[in-house]
Amino acid sequence: MRYETEVIIDLPRARVVELFDSFENLKKWQEGLLSYEPISGEPGQAGAKTKLLYQMGSRRTEMIETIITRNLPDEFSGTYDARGVHNIVRNYFHDEGEKTRWVLDSDFEFHGFMRIMSLFMPGSMFKKQTRKTMEDFKKFAESA
């Protein structure tokens, strides 16, 4: 399942990227993030792996982020792997003068039990969560 979401942030691209590219800021805009732990590579750089732990409702979810591309201020891409789910996320930051257009391209692949479960989960659920996360970042960034 692949989709694209975008949001306009009322800040120049340099400031948006500065706020986005900070482990310390993650908990300020990623709801449910409990911890992040570098596993290998240089944190924040291509090839680096980080374990992310989220509380989602009554369950905890562990995810492994692997950075694919770190070509800021233009692009930051990575994979996010959890039990039965592989997600490729490409973030693009476009300069719109005093604003920034953030485009997020997401491609989900489901395996095993999650492949079956995905048949019962509407794609709009994933888009809605992505939109909410992007709006949370926008709110955080514009008030920082």
Give me the phi and psi of 23, to 5 degrees please.
-60, -35
The DSSP output letter for 60 is: E
Q: What mean pLDDT do residues 87-98 have?
A: 97
| Per-residue pLDDT tens over the stretch 124-137 | 667 888 999 999 99
Model pTM score? 0.88
33: closest CA among 41, 42, 43, 23? 23
CATH 3.30.530.20, applies to 2-143: yes
Q: What mean pLDDT do residues 104-132 have?
A: 70
Q: Which sequence spans correspond to the domains of the chain?
A: 2-143
Using the predicted structure, report yes or no on whether residue 123 has a pLDDT greater than 60: no
